[in-house]
Amino acid sequence: MIVKMEYRKSDIKQGIQLHIINKDKFKTNLIAVMITSKLDKKTVTKNALIPAVLRRGTAKLNTQEEINKKLEDMYGASFNCGLDKTGDNQVLKFYLESVNDEFLPQDGENMLKTSLENIFEIIFNPYLENDCFKKEYVEQEKENLKQIIQGKIDNKARYALDRCIEEMYKNEPYGLYKFGYVEDLQEIDEKNLYEYYKKFINECKIDIFVSGMIKDNIEEIIKNDENIKRLNDRQPNYNEFVLNSPKVEKENIVNESMDVNQGKLVIGLNLDLENKEQKYDASIYNSILGGSANSKLFQNVREKASLAYTASSSYYKAKNNIFINCGIEIENFDKCLEIIKKQIEDMKNGEFSDEEVENAKQGTIATIKTIDDEQDTEIIYLFSQELSKQQINIEEYIDKIANVDKNKVVDIAKRVNINTVYFLKN
């Protein structure tokens, strides 16, 4: 059952938007602040470092221990932060979850207002020494980030996918690694990072999401917050989602050797769509190809041919790519690739049933119905719509999936081409 919700947007300042998700389904309020900037080699590493430094201390709460103590005093509120790569954008994400005022043991407290004040304090009022970030915090977080960057090879499946994307988008923003690069860390110190932060925080697109049972005038609380008052109006500079993938004359084959027990095959597919509505058809195409346990890849590559431990595909709407992922025995590469290409060709020729389309639609609709089961999932859904400039509620989303038919899926299949075949072997 889909819970009805009230969703509204308003401008706090130019380039700073408030999103209110008012519903009585949860006992907690979740605040999420998304800060979006264009992916750029010059800034990607600094952006990755900023959330880690900000969480270490604020002007009022100088250490992470003080922040944690404050959260404990707020009936066990929780704070988290991180970053993501969404299309050609790098997004810094900050979350604070706290109990709703309705469930507090005593009246008179305004936990939502307190939560807003504290998340803004962490993001917009950092702890400084000598008018710059604390040197110790920056150096420690540089070392932590270095370990994250160097550790990307530990998860071989994720590494292979990142490398395939890097090859497909060589010298383009989307090819950048979201956590940045070790060589760039050497140039960063507490002074130039703080100078960059001040510019970043006053130029980027900021989206503030507040989800929960909301009775207060949130707009007024936020507009009157001292940290928000100090922020500038801005003309947010970010990249919208694309309709078409980059065209290639022939598929690019990349082999890489590493000490691995299992080969990792990743195939990047391009989609050439005419309009945004076709993204719903593409979702069903992906589900039939490799997005479910009944998919062609799973049934033909893994089950029938027994060539792969895993065989699946994922649709990246922001860039309009489909990525096929297989874990295989290294000697099975040629045969596995042959069968995968046959599934792609079979779908171009319409060699799949109406029943497969219906099953894919029902599976996709079941997933859509879970979007509002978790506050953070719902926020991410609404935020992706904000970046794509295409607002659609869950009921409308379901209707669009329900209207996909076999002919539409065949049309998508004919728009699919292999861009890059990446194989990680020993």
| H runs (alpha helix) in 230-314 | 278-286, 296-297
- Say if CB 367 and CB 286 are below 8 A apart: no
C-alpha torsion sign, points 188, 191, 194, 196:
negative
Alpha-carbon span 307 to 303, nearest angstrom? 8
Q: Residue 58 forms beta bridges with which residues?
A: 126
CA distances from 323 to 113, 203, 302 (A): 43, 33, 17
Nearest to 184 by CA among 218, 145, 221: 145
Per DSSP bridges, beta strands 16-22 and 205-212 are parallel
Read off φ and ψ for residue 33, nearest 5 degrees.
-115, 120
pLDDT of residue 108: 61
Residue showing tokens 């119905």: 369
Residue 30 identity (one-letter amino acid): L
Token pair of 369 as six digits: 């119905």
* 3 state SS of 280: helix
Compute and round to an integer the Cα radius of gyration of the chain: 23
Alpha-carbon span 274 to 115, nearest angstrom? 44
Q: Residue 212 forms beta bridges with which residues?
A: 22
- Say if CB 425 and CB 255 are below 8 A apart: yes
Q: Residue 322 forms beta bridges with which residues?
A: 269, 315
CA distances from 27 to 30, 70, 103, 107, 306 (A): 10, 20, 7, 16, 47
The total number of residues shown for the chain amounts to 426
pLDDT of residue 45: 98
Alpha-carbon span 120 to 122, nearest angstrom? 5
The C-alpha angle with vertex 354 and arms to 348 and 360, in degrees rounded to 5, equals 85
Q: For residue 357, how many C-alpha atoms fall within 13 Å in the half-sphere facing its CB?
A: 21
What is the H or E stretch that residue 6 is in?
strand 6-13
- Say if CB 66 and CB 98 are below 8 A apart: no
Alpha-carbon span 365 to 362, nearest angstrom? 5
The C-alpha angle with vertex 382 and arms to 209 and 243, in degrees rounded to 5, equals 140
* 3 state SS of 277: coil
Residue 103 identity (one-letter amino acid): F
Q: In order along the chain (426 residues), what is the average pLDDT of each group of 10 residues?
A: 73 97 91 97 98 98 97 96 95 96 78 96 98 98 98 95 96 95 97 97 97 89 97 91 76 93 95 93 97 91 84 94 94 94 97 96 96 94 92 94 98 96 95
Alpha-carbon span 214 to 31, nearest angstrom? 12
pLDDT of residue 104: 84
Nearest to 80 by CA among 379, 382, 386: 379
Alpha-carbon span 80 to 307, nearest angstrom? 40
Per DSSP, 211 falls in state E
